[in-house]
Structure formats: C-alpha cells, structure tokens
A and B are shown apart, each in its own frame.
Chain A
Amino acid sequence: MASNVQSVDDASSVSAAEAGPPRSRRAADAAAAKRRSRNRKLKKMIWPLVSTLSVVVFLGAWQIAASTEAVNPLFTSSPSRAVEAFRDLVDRGELWPNLWISAQEFLIGFGLAVVVGIPLGILIGWYRPVEAVFSPFVTFMNSIPRIALLPLLIIWIGIGVPLKITIVFLGAVIAILINTIAGMKALDQQLLTMARSFKASDFQIFRTIALPGSVPFILSGLRFGLGHSLVGVVVGEMFASNQGIGHIIAVAGNTFQTDLVFVGVVIIASFGLLFTWLLARLEQRFESWRKP
C-alpha cells in the first residue's frame, strides 16, 4: 500500500522533470517530497482511525442484529446484554474475587516462568553439557500441549490455586526457554571474530555479545509465554476450579448464559492486551538502539 503511493509520487515528479529544465525539476522534487511527508503524516493518523471505526461498525451491526432479533440474542448475545451481565457480576460482588484469583495464578505462574526460564535458557544456550542434560526434556515438553498433563497434575496437586500456577508456569517457561536458548546461539559471527581479535575471553564474549544480543529473543519468548499463560489460566479453571474467570466462563456456558461468557472472554482479552502493552513498553526500553 505504502509503496504504491510512493511510486505514484515518484512517477509524477519524474514526468514533471522531463518536461522542464533542472530548476523546475527541483521544484517538482520538493513538491513531491512535501506531498510524501504530508501523506505519511495522514497515513499515520488514518489507520488507527480505520481500525476503531471497523470495531465500532462491527459492534453496531451486532447490536442491531440482536435488537431487531434478526439473530437470536439467546445464542449470540449482544454488546448491550454483555454490559448488563458485567454490571450484574459487579453488583453480585463476584467480579473482583474471581479476577483476583485468576490474576494471582497468572502473575505467580508467569513470574516463576521468567525467573526460571531466562537463567536456565542462558545456561543451556551457553554450556554444551547443560544443554545435553536438559534438551530432551525441553524438546519433549515443547512437543506436547501442556494441557494434556492436566489429569496427572490434578492427581498430584489437587484442584486449588497451586494447580493453575503450575499449568501457567509450564505453559510459559517452555516458550521462554526455547527463545532464550535460540538467542544465546544466534551469535553474530562477525562480532565474535571482532571480539576475539581484541583478546576477549569467553566470559567477556558472553557478557558483551551473547547476553545483550539475546534480549530481543528473550522478549519474544516472554510474548509467546504470555499467550500460553493465559490459555493455562482459562483452561485450568474451566476443568479444575470453583473460582476464577475461567470458571465463570465455563459455568456460564453450561447454563446458557452467553452474555456472561462474552464478559469473561473480554476480561481475559483485556488482561492479555494490558500485558502485551507492558511488554511492548519493555521492548522499547531495551531496544532504543534499534530505531533509526
């Protein structure tokens, strides 16, 4: 899309230049540049606007379809019914305790995954013997959906909060591990040769090249881990819990309260969005050097 606009501008400036002497060419170029920069500014504003509009239209259409009973709101719910259900949930005092339970499970599980995953990934990626010991397990855990371990985990841990913390942890830690390991191994050979030529020791190379170089990988590991964690919270609570947002969704679904299902889904989505945003902030902080 962007390149289309660009090439149209280029074409017009070239044809203007061919028609006249150098001076008019310069003028045409300047005008084209101005147009391009204006276009760019406009584009920057226009796309978020289009996205917002798109969502508004979708919600409006949904609402209208449900209110006019073009579709059965018992099945589809509607934005207004979902808002109503949300208010109910708050009024009954059920939102905050359940949200707090889910948040705890997520934060503790994900936090542990970070604390374990990053250092262990660094060790595995840097020391060949450590890799030899751990890599079969990492590969095994990565190739199965961790949810499949749920029955086993219930037998071992029961269905309390610790169970969900474990599921969240297992979901996130593998993603973080695998990305951290990849980051430690993706060393830029040219930088390595450069460091060696300055007599850098292995530890210096680790500290000044491998570690900072793996930061983008670790961050993308966190992003993947975040997704797995949210799945862990919801599925864990659906199958083995009597509280939490996942539990609310499961109960609401079983009792045909589609409105409440949507409320639960939106709450989880907001949670995910919030943490994705926080991660993006973190990324900006770490990678200011990447921006030209």
Chain B
Amino acid sequence: MGIPTKNSRRGPSDTDGQASSTGAHVSIKGVSVEYETARSGVKAALKDVSLEIEAGEFVCVVGTSGCGKTTLLKAIDGLVPISSGTVELDGKKVTKPGKSRSVVFQAASLLPWRTVVGNVRYGLEMQGRGRGKAKDDTARTVESLIELVGLKGFEHAYPSELSGGMQQRVNLARALACDPQMLLLDEPFAALDAQTREIMQGELVKIWGASNKTALFITHQIDEAIYLADKVVVMTARPGRIREVIKIDLPRPRPLQIKRDPEFVAYLDQVWTMIEEEGRLAAMRDRGVAQH
C-alpha cells in the first residue's frame, strides 16, 4: 500500500485548473535542513526529503518525537533556511514566509491583549490587507470565520477568557483569514483533551472540505493522522527522512465511527508498526553512540 516517494508523481491532476485560487500543488525535492548546536557542531534535522502534495490534498506527517516533523513544516513555510533542495508551490520557489501559506501553531500563539476579533485579523493586518477600501470586507471575513469555527458570541473575549479548544479555534481562524492556498498545521490539537480533539478533527475536515485548500498536518497521534488524511507520511527517526507515504483510501465524509472500522484499524496497525520500529532503531542507535 505504501508508495515510494522518490519517484516523483508529479503530473496533470484534475484540480490543477483552479489551483491558484484554492489549493496549491507543493513539490518538495531533496530538502535537507541543518542546524548548528553549541556542543556537537552541525546536525541534520531533515535529510533529503522529497514529497509531492497535490492541490487540495490533506497530508498528515507522523513520526517519533524529534524526527523533524515541525522542521519540515517550517521549511515549507520558509521559516527555516533550507541547506539543500527546493520547496516549490505551484512552481514558485519558497524562500521566506508568504501569503500563499498560513501556519496554525501548536501553541495557540494568540496576542493576549487582543480580543478574538483582533487576533483573527492579525495575519491580514500584517500582510497590509484590511485597510482603506478593504476594511469592510475584512470585517465581514473575520466575522464569518469566527462563526465558521464556532466562536460566535465570543468576538470580544480575550484569550485568557477562552478554553484551550477555543483558543485553537481562534488560531485556525487567524490562519484561514489570510485565505492561503495551503494550510500548515503543527500539532494544533496536541494540547487538547481527547474529546475536544475529536470534535476539532471533525470540524477541521469540514472546514477544509469546504475550502479545498491544500493542508499539511503534523501530528504524533496516528489515529488523528489516518482520520484526517488523504496521505499519511511516516518519517524516520532523526535525521528525518521519509520512510513511507501511505495513501488512505477511506471514503469522505468520514464519520467519527470510522475509527472503529476494520479498514481504519488496519491502517492504524500498519503505521503504528512502522513508528514502533523507528523508535526501536533510534533507541538502538543512541545506545550504540553511548557505547563508543
């Protein structure tokens, strides 16, 4: 079921025609990211990662902790410098953050002195939008997004007055407000309790389905990845490489009960086995290092 990623599957896809206004096609080729540590010199966080994401596709990335999942997301956004390789969005090379992508962070990262409205419009403001003639449009966009993420009535609440789940909804709405072609989600539900997380998963899929944006979702919850994704990318332990890309052939819309479906459980087993093996390999390697 796994599809080797090295052989690029780029080609005409049926959503290409409307790619610019909705989802973007992302092409990651041979990307490595290195960083310098004070103690042990240059280390690789990502090594030779290649991945094709079709326009409008929902891709989840899973892997052991510290395997470079977040680095991959930051590389796609242009938040970290790439040592070698390229990231292209609809053929345009990414070097720094741009309007075509929005990040939903693991920590809600809301400005505590701004209300919900102020936080949702923050990204638009930073991009110089929402001023002058566009002011009314922006206000309407913000209002409708707040309603979309289910925070109607909390427009003028401060983040400290919101629960963790509500803060993440603001985080999501802020990213959506910029109307990006691609959403980059960095374990946005990791800090939520199990029940809230499931609710948020369902709503995210609904919102994504309506927008047809391309989405890259980092998580360490395997069931979350399979439930959300068209494609699950399993990464190796440090330095992060892509081990396997698994296509999830489950029909949409997916009700939450699908998580008990035998097919779903089979995917779960498959991914879990790989990650477990990676964890073991990493532990063995660490022990090996320790013995030297």
Contacts and interface: CB of A to CB of B under 8 A. Distances in A.
Interface of A: 190-191, 193-201, 204, 208-209, 212-213, 215, 288-292
Given A190-B107, A193-B109, A198 B126 contact: yes
A159 B112 CA distance: 48
B136 to A, nearest CB: 21
A198 B102 contact: yes
A212 B110 CA distance: 13
Contact of B160 (A197, A199, A291): A291
B113 A212 contact: yes
Contacts of A289: 112-114, 158-160
Contact of A194 (B98, B105, B161): B105
B178 interface: yes
Contact of B103 (A197, A204, A215): A197
Interface in B84-143: 96-99, 101-103, 105, 107, 109, 111-114, 122-123, 125-127
Contacts of A291: 160
Contacts of A213: 113
B126 A204 contact: yes
B123 A198 contact: yes
Given A190-B109, A209-B111, A289-B113, A197 B158 contact: no
A196 to B, nearest CB: 6
Interface string B41-84: 00000000000000000000000000000000000010100000
Contacts of A208: 111, 122, 125-126
Contacts, number: 59
Interface residues of B, number: 26
Interface in B170-229: 178
Given A289-B158, A292-B160, A194 B112 contact: no
A102 B101 CA distance: 60
27 contacts: A190-B107, A193-B105, A193-B109, A194-B103, A194-B105, A196-B97, A197-B97, A197-B102, A198-B97, A198-B102, A198-B122, A198-B178, A199-B96, A199-B98, A199-B126, A199-B127, A200-B126, A204-B126, A208-B122, A208-B125, A212-B113, A215-B113, A289-B112, A289-B113, A289-B114, A289-B160, A290-B160
B129 to A, nearest CB: 11
Contacts of A197: 77, 79, 97, 101-103, 105
Given A199-B127, A204-B125, A212-B111, 12 more contacts: A190-B109, A193-B79, A193-B105, A198-B102, A198-B126, A199-B126, A204-B126, A208-B111, A215-B113, A289-B160, A292-B160, A292-B161
Contacts of A193: 79, 105, 109
Contacts of B109: 190-191, 193-194
A196 B161 contact: no
Contacts of A196: 79, 97
Closest 10 CB pairs of A and B: A194-B109, A289-B158, A198-B123, A198-B126, A200-B126, A197-B103, A190-B109, A212-B113, A289-B113, A197-B97
Contacts of B103: 194, 197
A24 B160 CA distance: 35
A289 B79 CA distance: 30
Contacts of B77: 197
A191 B111 contact: yes
Nearest to B103: A197
B160 A198 contact: no
A191 B111 CA distance: 7
Greatest chain B CB density within 10 A among A194, A200, A292 is at: A194
A212 B122 CA distance: 14
A134 B97 CA distance: 35
B111 A199 contact: no
A194 B178 CA distance: 13
